[in-house]
Structure 1
Amino acid sequence: MSGNDRQAMEQERLARQGKRKREPSPVPASNLELFNPLEGQDDAWQLGEPVDDFVRRLPPYTTSISTCPWIWAANPYRNPRDKSPSPRVQDFTSRGTELLQQSLQTRRDIQKEGAKGPRGMVTKQLLQESKALQERISDLAKDTHVLSGKAICVYTKDFLDADDVLRVLHELETMGLINVGRTIYYKPDAYTYLDLRRETAAEYGLQASLYNSRTLLAANKVSKPSSFPQKKQLTLKK
């Protein structure tokens, strides 16, 4: 089936869905610009493919990791005004690895020079270096357009946009996908490319995740999303 055929099927499905709900569609189905960046990939949902067929084709519980490590579904509603440049992953990874090595050496120097001094001063300097490293990684990610990130593998476009991360978190909460008393974590792809995980992030004084549901939701109770701190000022830890 061609991409055009799948697009026509998806538009027809959306039109039928709109009739069933008897709600006016904000944009006529005929004017929707549907786009699937994963078109043709066997491990991804395709335009016009019913959800039931997709799940039968790639059942999450029984599909072997050797068949496909991940099962993907991309948002088909492309914003025609979105001219975001493509991420330069190789550039980010190369320069980011250098940042990690430089920071690691700085941490060693701090510990060496402060070995005979007050322990509290060393701790303070290490914390300052950790915050500075996080800022440098964020700046590099912005420069190379490596800005996507996920909560339980639900992707958002820009991990620096804390308001958008909170919006998605609220949607997950509304859908009943967040268990009471259980925290979920948000990790930028930038950290994944630098192999910053729980076992390695602590070496740099970082957390493997940038946000967590417990802290985000708690902060939102005392501050509405519209009055959230600016993107780079919001630093949340586990």
Structure 2
Amino acid sequence: MDPMDIDDDIPAASAAAPPCATRGPARLGNLLNPYLMRAESRQLDETVDEFLARLPPHPISANLDALPPWYWIVNPHVGLEYYRQQRDVDALERQGQDLLDRYRERKTPGNAFLPRHGSAELEKEIAELAKATGMVEGKWMLFPTIEEVNETWALVANATANNRLGTAAKIATAGKEEGDRCRLICVYTRDFTDKEDVERVLLELVRMGLVPAEKGGGKSKGKGIHYKCDAYTHLDVYAGNGYGLRPSIYSSAQMLPYHLKANTADSSITSKRVNRLGLS
């Protein structure tokens, strides 16, 4: 996996946000966990250090074929109302595929894509469908190298458990291809339309040294990161898709320069993109 191919994350069956238990998440005092008794997730009765020791991202000693695709840690401080929200993944996938199919049918004969305004309208329609079906989670994507992965995952896991990041985080147990030198880490937020919360999580990653505030800084050696909504993951919208859709809807390169300049956030590229999606 090329760490610079930030518009492409791993298409796996469990690629979307953690499922909400039908009987509600497990409790430990005021802490919640929807992944009770799931070996690939941190349990409430183990410390973060114990979880990391039990499931280190590198080296992986188990047979790759026997591994789950992801290791998970959820934010145990997320309130019960989050897990009670109605989410209809079947409707998103069914109606979203209809939107994609109609886009393909409207392609101009002999041309690879419709004009850009066609894909922009499709982008807006999918965003509206995601809101209507309650499928509004999204994630910042990090691609640490094998040499960096244990330290990076430990930082993300501790920050998630201590309510400093978003609703959950996961790490791929193996690269997309054998021999990959990078692993994907996803840091989830509850709602991609909540730009303030998306930016808050990004700024925390900057403070943790995982994202450079400017080119050349941070553990990522100047590499920015991108944010993808789960709706695109469910609809298999990855880099090189035939719809003219950009898989990532936000980037650190868009958000940070405007945050770091005093009082200019309202005129940011990202704000304009949110307005275009009809989410403001």
Q: TM-score range by the shorter chain?
A: 0.7 to 0.9
Per the alignment, in what secondary structure is the counterpart of residue 248 of structure 2?
A: coil
What is the 5 A alignment of 1:51-70?
A: 51-63=48-60, 64=62, 65=64, 66-70=66-70
Matched-pair identity in %: 34
User: How far does residue 199 in structure 1 lie from its aligned partner after superposition?
Assistant: 2.7
Query: Can you list the C-alpha shifts for 1:135-177, whole angstroms capped at 9, x where unaligned?
Result: 0000000000111111120000011112211110000000011
8 Å CA contact 1:162, 1:231 repeated in 2: no
Alignment correspondent of 1:91: 91
What is the 5 A alignment of 1:1-238?
A: 7=28, 33-63=30-60, 64=62, 65=64, 66-80=66-80, 82=82, 84-106=84-106, 108-109=107-108, 126-152=115-141, 153-178=186-211, 179-200=220-241, 203-222=242-261, 224=263, 227=266, 229=271, 232-233=274-275
Residues 216, 165 of structure 1: alpha-carbon distance in 2 compared, 3 angstrom cutoff: same
TM-score, structure 2 as length reference: 0.62
| Structure 1: gaps of 5 or more residues | 8-31, 116-121
8 Å CA contact 1:186, 1:212 repeated in 2: yes
Larger relative helix fraction: 1
- Root-mean-square deviation over aligned CA pairs: 2.7
| Structure 2: gaps of 5 or more residues | 1-25, 142-185, 212-219
Larger relative contact order, structure 1 or 2 (CA cutoff 8 Å, min sep 6): 2
TM-score, structure 1 as length reference: 0.72
User: How far does residue 83 in structure 1 lie from its aligned partner after superposition?
Assistant: 7.0
Out of 59-68 and 208-217, give the one that drifted further.
Answer: 59-68
Query: Can you list the C-alpha shifts for 1:92-111, whole angstroms capped at 9, x where unaligned?
Result: 001101101111222x13x5
8 Å CA contact 1:43, 1:72 repeated in 2: yes
Q: Which amino acid aligns with 2:46?
A: E
8 Å CA contact 1:166, 1:216 repeated in 2: yes
* Cα separation, 2, equivalents of 1:130 and 1:142: 19
Q: Which amino acid aligns with 2:188?
A: Y
Larger relative strand fraction: 2
8 Å CA contact 1:87, 1:146 repeated in 2: yes
Per the alignment, in what secondary structure is the counterpart of residue 87 of structure 1?
A: coil
Per the alignment, in what secondary structure is the counterpart of residue 240 of structure 2?
A: helix
| Higher-Rg member (1/2) | 1
Q: How many equivalent residue pairs?
A: 194
Residues 49, 162 of structure 1: alpha-carbon distance in 2 compared, 3 angstrom cutoff: same
